[in-house]
Amino acid sequence: MDKEPITLQGLEKLKIELEELQSTKRPKIVEAIAEARAHGDLKENAEYHAAKDEQGKIEGRIIQIKDLIARANVIDIKKLEKRDTVIFGSTVELIDLKDNKKKTYKIVGGDEADLVKNFIYFRSPIGKALIGKNKKDLVVVNTPSGDKNFKIVEVKYI
């Protein structure tokens, strides 16, 4: 059972989601199942089957979150010595050398990854390419659409 790195914010988010699933969503789905069961024949009861499917998803997510929390290796980037090296939890400003556009990414765990927020998984192609690099380094990222070239402009531990 390998430890999984996670940011402090990511751990808090997981704990909040777990609490909501256990205290709100689980009781509601149990109630929905009981109500659907009261309607009679379960073979042809679409409400019952839909509620049971939803219950399975909720229980699966609860197990997944508990596992992640149990294996969590919490990295509080703010407590680390400030350096110019890209590490898990750091925020990296890059310049795409093809079009000179600036991009900013935060390196996070799998459950926290969200491209809309520019949170990238540390095991993704760009995450792997950035980890261990320093400010002013040139980075080549192998992507399905071809190699991308970046220059690291800034590394922040925020």
> What is the Cα–Cα distance from 54 to 30, expressed in whole angstroms?
10
**Could you list the pLDDT tens digit for every one of the 158 residues in the chain?**
689 999 999 999 999 999 999 999 999 999 999 988 888 777 778 889 999 999 999 999 999 999 999 999 999 998 988 889 999 999 999 999 999 999 999 999 999 999 999 999 999 999 999 999 999 999 999 888 889 999 999 999 99
Domains for the chain: give ranges and CATH numbers: 4-75 (1.10.287.180), 77-156 (3.10.50.30)
> What is the Cα–Cα distance from 47 to 152, expressed in whole angstroms?
53
Q: Which amino acid is at 4?
A: E
Please list the residues that pair with 146 across neighbouring strands: 143
The whole-model pTM stands at 0.82
Residue written as token pair 């935060």: 106
